[in-house]
A and B are shown apart, each in its own frame.
Chain A
Amino acid sequence: MTTLVSNSEDMTEQIGEALGRILQPGDVVALIGDLGAGKTCMTRGIARGLGIADPVTSPTFILVAEYRTARGFPLYHADCYRLGDAAVAEAESIGLDEMMEGSGVAVVEWAERIDRLLPDDTLRIELVATDDLERSLTLHAGGPRGRLMMETLAQAAAGVLT
């Protein structure tokens, strides 16, 4: 577990961009946090780090948006906020579990609602608003790939935070 502190939306996006640059096909990033905690902002940065020029918006109503990265594989941006009581079954029925085992990168907002479907190698990022602008970003790594993502991000983010 590692905690980073961002003091602006811009910095959250830059940390996301640093993460985007190190992601590989098959990686899963779970974003956990309340409305306004910076999940979509972080995803915008991840998309930029992956070389995606299209504007990234919250997929709250469409559930999953797919982008083509500069490196050829897809980025799946999912939002589980609108999934109901049977969130896990609904996520399976739209194929979200398969996207997380596929050949792209998956970034999942409100991922705690489908925690059971997340692969072992998931990087979980918990975003908490500590005041108006400041956010704490706590990284939890599962599996060897998750740990590598966490360590690499912590190093890369050190450059952003100084």
Chain B
Amino acid sequence: MLLALDTATRQSGLALLHDETLVAELNWTSNDSQTVELLPRLGQILAWHGLSPRDIDAVAVSLGPGSFTGLRVALSIAKGMAVAHGTPLLGVPTLDASALPFVSAGKLVCAVAPAGRGRVYWATYAATADESRPVTVSLGGWQGWRSNFQLGDVPALAAALPEPALLVGEIPPALHETIRRLLAGRVELTAPAATGRRAASIAALGWVRWRAGDFDDAASLAPIYLQEP
């Protein structure tokens, strides 16, 4: 059984994956208190399925970029489980999880997460290389190229998206209007609640690395913190 934990932003999640079956998943918007919410909810989804923490064989965790305080909540719990039970630990970049369900559609994908003060984190994904996408990534069965993780306001995002893209992930409602105005014709905000990040995607990406024996070290695994230069 693989457990996925995501508190990278207020959009929080938990998922349990057995073989490649999604046993349970919980996604919710936190009210500033992920430290208080995460463990009781984990206890609940385990209890619903008659499971105990001992049944968890691997832990995947959302690594960011995201909220500085949020990232530490899931990562400290994931590391605690990894150290206490000797469980393999798998760090998953948060935006990779947002992009995962959409990359195989063949379009340019831009995954977004809120960064506060009108800013967002983002990364673009495409099947073809480009000077703006220097990183090779493998998401599930899909091979492609990713930009570096970026932090900026909506005008900066607009400048980074010269061509039409599928905008996915967690798009702050306060920015919808600016995005529609500055990115008109290039992106559409289609049902943001249905294109948001899910804990199942963190679990799916962690699963692939677990099967490949590609684990992270609990002592050195660090969140992806982005700050403005």
Residues of A whose CB lies within 8 Å of any CB of B are 74, 89, 92-95, 97-98, 101-104, 117, 119
B220 within 8 A of A: no
- The answer on a CB contact under 8 Å between A102 and B32 is yes
Within 8 Å CB of B70, what residues of A?
A: 98
Q: Does B67 lie at the interface of the complex (its beta carbon under 8 Å from any beta carbon of A)?
A: yes
Rounded to whole Å, the gap between the CB of B148 and the closest CB of chain A is 19
A95: nearest chain-B partner, CB-CB: B69
Q: Indicate if the CB atoms of A101 and B68 lie closer than 8 Å.
A: no
Contacts of B32 in A (CB 8 A): 74, 102-104
Q: How far is the CB of B204 from chain A (nearest CB, A)?
A: 28
A117 to B68, CA, bound (A): 14
Q: What chain B residues lie within 8 Å of A119 (beta carbons)?
A: 117
Complex CA gap A98/B35 in Å reads 15
Chain B: residues with Cβ within 8 Å of the partner, total of 10
Chain B facing A: main interface SS: loop
Q: Which residues of B (198-229) have their CB < 8 Å from a CB of A?
A: 225, 227
Bits for B84-123, please: 1 = Cβ < 8 Å to A, else 0: 0000000000000000000000000000000011000000
Contact A98/B31 with A92-B68, A92-B227, A93-B68 known, Cβ cut-off 8 Å: no
In the A-B complex, the 7 residue pairs with the closest CB atoms: A95-B69, A102-B32, A101-B116, A103-B32, A93-B68, A95-B68, A97-B116
Q: For the complex, what is the distance from the CA of A117 to the CA of B117, rounded to whole Å?
A: 8
Q: Which chain B residues numbered 30 to 59 have a C-beta less than 8 Å away from chain A? A: 31-32
- Is A89 a contact of B69 with CB atoms below 8 Å? no
Distance to closest chain B CB from A72 (angstroms): 11
Do B117 and A94 touch (CB < 8 A)? no
In addition to A97-B116, A98-B70, A101-B117, 6 A-B residue pairs with Cβ atoms within 8 Å of each other are: A89-B227, A95-B67, A95-B68, A95-B69, A98-B67, A98-B68
For A95, the chain B residues whose CB sits under 8 A away are: 67-69
Task: Write out the residue numbers on chain B whose beta carbons fall within 8 Å of the beta carbon of A93.
Answer: 68, 225
* Complex alpha-carbon distance, A95 and B9, angstroms: 12
Q: Are B227 and A94 in contact, CB atoms less than 8 angstroms apart?
A: no
A134 to B22, CA, bound (A): 66
Measured in the bound complex, the distance between the Cα atoms of B67 and A136 in whole Å is 38
CA distance in complex: A95, B115 (Å): 11
The smallest C-beta distance from B158 to any residue of chain A, in angstroms, reads 21
Report chain A residues within 8 Å CB of B69: 94-95, 98
Max chain B Cβ within 10 angstroms of own Cβ: one of A89, A95, A103: A95
Binary contact readout B119-138 vs A (1 if CB under 8 angstroms, 0 otherwise): 00000000000000000000
Tell me, rounded to whole Å, the shortest Cβ–Cβ distance linking B117 to chain A. 7
Measured between C-beta atoms, what is the minimum distance from B187 to chain A in Å? 24
Q: Do residues A103 and B117 form an inter-chain contact, with CB atoms below 8 A?
A: no
Task: Please name the residue on chain A nearest to B227 by beta carbon.
Answer: A89
Q: Report the separation of the CA atoms of residues A74 and B69 in the bound assembly, to the nearest whole angstrom.
A: 17
